[in-house]
Structure 1
């Protein structure tokens, strides 16, 4: 059954580890692997008009499968014909066990701080009635704020390729969330808009600390807009919040 007018809000409830010195879990063994979550999203979102996805871990394959670089591929040739609005708030980590953020060298070094519970009494297996924090949340050590450019580029590069297959797209927001970003007035976001009345398309990368997308990422977005909308893309890259 197809629902071209449907709107879906999906929150996966994933929380970023509070201790940034911890190693994120490995959810996908290999880069470029087409997992069931990404494959499913690419399939059923083609029926939607609006999608709001939050509290999740994403890979570039969520937007565009690595195996679909060939336009003759069946999936690459298909389109999100109805999708007008897409919002994705994703965790500051990859499903491959790495972070999307790193320590900003301009930040002053700081100690790890005290654990959130007394370590002498910490024993999750001893008393299951107590809601103990998981090991990666034992310390509030949120020092990662600077985007890891190569990782961010992979996501934005894939999103640009997918945008070529979204003829109705008017609004796309991509934003990273984390404790340090939420409470420390740090942010990393991307916003694409298309104003049909004016025939104007804009792309805004806003990041504090700064992140500058690779030249080929910006060029992919320019080509996608020229192909789909037939107009030039107005690009801004700064430290303003999108």
Structure 2
């Protein structure tokens, strides 16, 4: 059954929503794991790397941790699928290089790109909110199987510039950035994770739980949120009032 919404902005999760979690876990995670050491050695003076390494040391409570210890912590967090901000920052840098070199091409479900193009053409503002870093998001959309999709996307948000994805205040922060703090009901959030959907709804947003067979949260369901199995089950009607 189609879900119909009168909104101005759509905010998209990536893993399990626009794209297969399996691709991230089976392709991107091993790619980053194999390159953490080289990144720390070769780009250790880059401001983003310096900041991320300092955050790792703080999280493990080892202010003098060397590169080998930092890499060990990163790999442990990867094994746990922990959404640690410095892990996501460093993965983003590695993936950006991989996409730029052509080593990597991102994945999107077949129903996603036609919907995004149609919504964008209708004047709907599209944004991304992912636990993956903004750098990783930018590389992901720039390196799709159908070329550069960044022109479709207006804003990119992660756990560093917005906050944790299961906290309502993070969604309020994004609504403020979108100029919709006073009218959060003009925003629709699409995600496969119930906790994220709950937080977005608590901030006044519309929500749709995207349930795709084979994804980690498929069996769990999306609680009492509206749900869709694909983007073509979501209809957006923008009012002109």
**Larger radius of gyration between Structure 1 and Structure 2:** 1
Structure whose residues are more often strand by fraction: 1
Regarding TM over 0.5, the answer is no
Question: What's the TM-score once normalised by structure 1's chain length?
Answer: 0.28
Normalised by the size of structure 2, how large is the TM-score? 0.28
